[in-house]
């Protein structure tokens, strides 16, 4: 995907920084509160990070090469599947957090 030269590194840096902070917060809360629901949220963040990796990889495919659109499509499909799994984990976390016996 064509974009300005400075945009892609800033996009990657921002994604990595935000996901790292989110994971640190969830790990801290898991250790402090000892609730199993945080395991679901951490799993969500891991799958979502993997999804973001494949999305960013799809955006970095050079547009002039042979089979570039096919490669980008495969990366987008991988990102979509991982995103769907991450949403299932997020919903699992919500359901587990809503129960009284989530310790």
Give the whole-angstrom CA distance, residue 2 versus residue 16. Answer: 21
Are the C-beta atoms of residues 89 and 47 closer than 8 Å to each other? yes
CA dist 36 and 58 (Å) reads 34
Instruction: Map residue 35 onto helix, strand or coil.
Output: coil
Which pLDDT tens digit goes with each residue over 67-95?
Answer: 888 888 999 999 999 999 999 999 999 99
* Domain ranges, residue 89: 7-98
Tens digits of residue pLDDT in 9-63: 999 999 999 999 999 999 999 999 888 889 999 999 999 999 999 999 998 887 7
Q: Does residue 58 fall inside a structural domain?
A: yes
Is 52 domain-assigned? yes
Q: What is the pTM of this model?
A: 0.85
- Going by C-alpha positions, the residue among 50, 58, 57 that lies closest to residue 84 is 50
Query: Does 77 map to a domain?
Result: yes
Q: Residue 76 in contact with residue 58, Cβ under 8 Å?
A: yes
How many domains, the chain? 1
**Is residue 103 in a domain?**
no
Residue 45 lies in a domain: yes
């Amino acid at each position: 995907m064509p974009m300005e030269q400075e945009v892609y590194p800033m996009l990657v840096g921002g994604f990595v920084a935000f996901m790292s902070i989110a994971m640190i917060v969830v790990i801290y809360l898991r250790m402090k509160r000892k609730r199993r629901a945080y395991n679901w949220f951490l799993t969500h963040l891991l799958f979502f990070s993997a999804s973001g990796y494949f999305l960013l990889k799809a955006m970095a495919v050079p547009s002039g090469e042979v089979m570039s659109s096919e490669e980008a499509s495969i990366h987008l499909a991988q990102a979509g599947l991982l995103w769907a799994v991450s949403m299932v984990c997020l919903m699992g976390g919500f359901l587990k957090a809503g129960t009284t016996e989530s310790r």
